[in-house]
Amino acid sequence: MRKAVLIICLLLLIGCKSKTVSRNTEDIKIKKVLSGEMNPDQQNKAYSLGKRVLETCNTSKFKPFNETEVTKSVMDNTSEEHLTKTCIRFRQYYGSFIDLKLDGVYKTKQETIYRYHALYTKKVANKELRVFVNDENLVSAIKSMDWDEKFDKQINE
């Protein structure tokens, strides 16, 4: 009986041996897009949708997104209630939203990332807005964070 239990344990140990996993890092490589390679229509779309979200804080009115502008997940996650809660905090700390200044455009295998410096009336405001546009020319994510001079490689924290 002991031998049978020992053999089963050894078989389990051998069967559960960890395997070497090869990862395709091609999907997460990020390269900066030169100004001549930018798609002007896509750039205008990213700017206008990012600005529409942040201007909600000034006007308290949000024009909902549609299927030709954003993905379903962005549409579901961008509700007026969620924006209002965020806007109250932003207006208190940063003042009124002024404009977006394009800092750079970055490309992965599946998305184009537009990185904007968000300008507010208070000088303490140092915010960044990233607009992610997928291959179907739909905004797949809009992310606001504290500004950092370096564009970090961890885009999906």
User: Residue 8 — pLDDT band, cuts 50, 70, 90?
Assistant: low
Query: pLDDT tens digits for 48-81?
Result: 999 999 998 888 888 888 999 999 999 988 888 8
Please give the average per-residue pLDDT across 122-150, as a whole number: 91
Q: What is the pLDDT of residue 38?
A: 80
Average pLDDT of the chain to the nearest whole number: 82
Domains of the chain: 37-146 (3.10.450)
105, 50 Cβ separation under 8 angstroms: no
**Dist CA 33 CA 51 (whole Å):** 21
Within 58-138, strands assigned E span: 97-107, 111-120, 127-134
15 vs 84 pLDDT, higher one: 84
Question: Which H or E run contains 23?
Answer: none
145, 128 Cβ separation under 8 angstroms: yes
**Could you tell me the pTM of the whole model?**
0.76
Question: Which H or E run contains 139?
Answer: strand 139-146
Q: How far is CA 91 from CA 64, 84, 136, 139, in A?
A: 21, 10, 33, 25
Report the phi/psi class of residue 137: left, alpha or beta, with left for phi > 0 and alpha for psi in -120 to 50: left
Query: pLDDT tens digits for 103-122?
Result: 999 998 889 999 999 999 99
